[in-house]
A = this chain, B = another copy of it.
Amino acid sequence: MTEKTDHKTTRRGFLASGIAVGGAVASGRAAVAGEAEITEMQPWRRNLGDPVNNAPYGTPSQFEADVLRRPVAWLTPDATTAVSFTPLHALDGTITPNGLCFERHHGGVAQVDPEKYRLMINGLVDRPLIFTLQDLLRFPRENRTYFLECAANSGMEWRGVQMDGVQFTHGMIHNVEYTGVPLRYLLEEAGVQTAGKWLLAEGGDASGMSRSIPMEKALEDCLIAFKMNGEALRAEQGYPVRLVVPGWEGNMWVKWLRRLEVGDMPWHHREETSKYSDLMADGRTRRFTWEMDAKSVITTPSPQAPVLHGKGPMVLSGLAWSGRGSIPRVDVTLDGGINWHQARMDGPELDKSLRRFYYDFNWDGTALLLQSRAHDSTGYVQPTKDALRSLRGVNSNYHNNGIQTWHLGKDGRVRNVEVT
């Protein structure tokens, strides 16, 4: 209810533009004629529909069969160490439906029996503990909505691959309401010793994913989560229990969580040395680059979501997020960065969560260069890809939060391009 006066396309705006927003700006008679036509063409008005509980667990409309997670076959060596991407071009709002949350696995999707699930806390603690799922359900729990972004999201853009769609350039992200126990409650129960400054989180799948997390972060806002968007975690998201590390790279959100070890220094395991570290132009490596920098992208129009309705009133829709806080502001340009306009920000300004923005304008039918630029609550402004490249080179696959450019053609088609 906060944005009532902020949109640019009021009734007067629509009519002044000379566009018939309806199929026809109809007289009363035209509407009646339309009515007869509609009756003829719409069989669902004359026949009973499907019975209730046709799908006890519901599925999308048959007309949305192409809105799916999709992998990129050549990107990874095999299907158990691969990634599928969230179809951002077909979504709006901020919640990602569980069935469309991207997947990234290193040893396939483990199918963990909740009766046999165990979580161990060991290392520099007064009382090593093993928890069953029932044990975890006895601790006070909280609900928080957070984005999870893979550190490699947009990674192919570093060297200009220009994947053909926002699903593939930015689709390694989702945004979900988690239910879980604050990790600090479990650590308090075990009794972290004074020397305990780090935590190793280890997954229960075949890949044995493990990451080092500073104790300060573990105590601040991490969750031991067992539900996403109200229901049990999905298997591909770590059923029955995953670690939630708000704002930090997705690889640290260990799935099928089996063990938390308290130590006095980081472990320097595979996933924080050879992987998930950023090779710079000078041969040095950035390590422990945990926080996801502020970023945004226009989701429609985009290469998979061309403009079908011709010139005139148009809604541009996009997403912005920051691992360091919230998103108070996003700017949008139609001309590749010459002129910037403040976007209309939708919904509450949540911490470390996706925020939806819109820009409502009249398209004059000419070719446009569309970009968005996020500002986060720390004052940080999303940089251009070239600015990032000049700082970090092009050796890395990680932490590319550069501004994305879409070329909207006169025919309504959209292409992934770069503006230099």
Contacts and interface: CB of A to CB of B under 8 A. Distances in A.
A108 B49 contact: yes
A46 to B, nearest CB: 7
Contacts of A42: 112, 116, 118, 204, 258
A346 to B, nearest CB: 5
A107 interface: yes
A130 interface: yes
B49 A57 contact: no
A194 interface: no
Interface residues of A, number: 139
B206 A46 contact: yes
Interface string A248-282: 00000000101000000000000000000000000
A217 interface: no
B93 A229 contact: yes
B95 A95 contact: yes
Contacts of A342: none
Interface string A123-148: 00001111110110111111110000
Given A42-B204, A60-B234, A142-B3, A22 B131 contact: yes
Interface string A1-21: 101000111110011000001
Contact of A93 (B127, B137, B179, B351): B179
A171 to B, nearest CB: 13
Given A27-B128, A31-B120, A105-B49, A143 B92 contact: yes
Contacts of A28: 122, 128
Nearest to A102: B52
A390 interface: no
A49 B80 contact: yes
Contacts of A178: 93
Given A9-B140, A51-B82, A256 B67 contact: no
A114 interface: yes
Given A111-B61, A231-B100, A23 B122 contact: no
A110 interface: yes
A59 B120 CA distance: 28
A224 to B, nearest CB: 13
B229 A135 contact: no
B135 A61 contact: no
Q: How many copies does the complex hold?
A: 2
A161 interface: no
Contacts of A314: 138
A18 to B, nearest CB: 14
Given A11-B185, A95-B229, A122-B28, A49 B130 contact: no
Given A128-B26, A256-B44, A79 B52 contact: yes
Contacts of A317: 141
Top 5 nearest A-B pairs (CB, nearest first) are: A49-B108, A51-B79, A31-B128, A22-B129, A7-B140
24 contacts: A1-B351, A7-B140, A21-B135, A25-B129, A31-B122, A31-B129, A34-B118, A44-B110, A49-B205, A50-B108, A52-B80, A53-B69, A57-B60, A62-B111, A63-B239, A64-B231, A92-B141, A93-B230, A134-B309, A138-B312, A141-B315, A142-B346, A143-B356, A348-B348
Interface of A: 1, 3, 7-11, 14-15, 21-28, 30-31, 34-35, 38, 41-42, 44-64, 67-71, 78-80, 82-84, 90-101, 103-105, 107-114, 116, 118, 120, 122, 127-132, 134-135, 137-144, 177-179, 185, 188-189, 191, 204-206, 208, 221, 227, 229-236, 239-240, 256, 258, 308-309, 312-315, 317, 344, 346-348, 351, 356, 358, 360
Given A21-B189, A23-B132, 10 more contacts: A21-B135, A22-B129, A23-B135, A45-B205, A48-B107, A48-B206, A51-B108, A56-B69, A60-B98, A94-B230
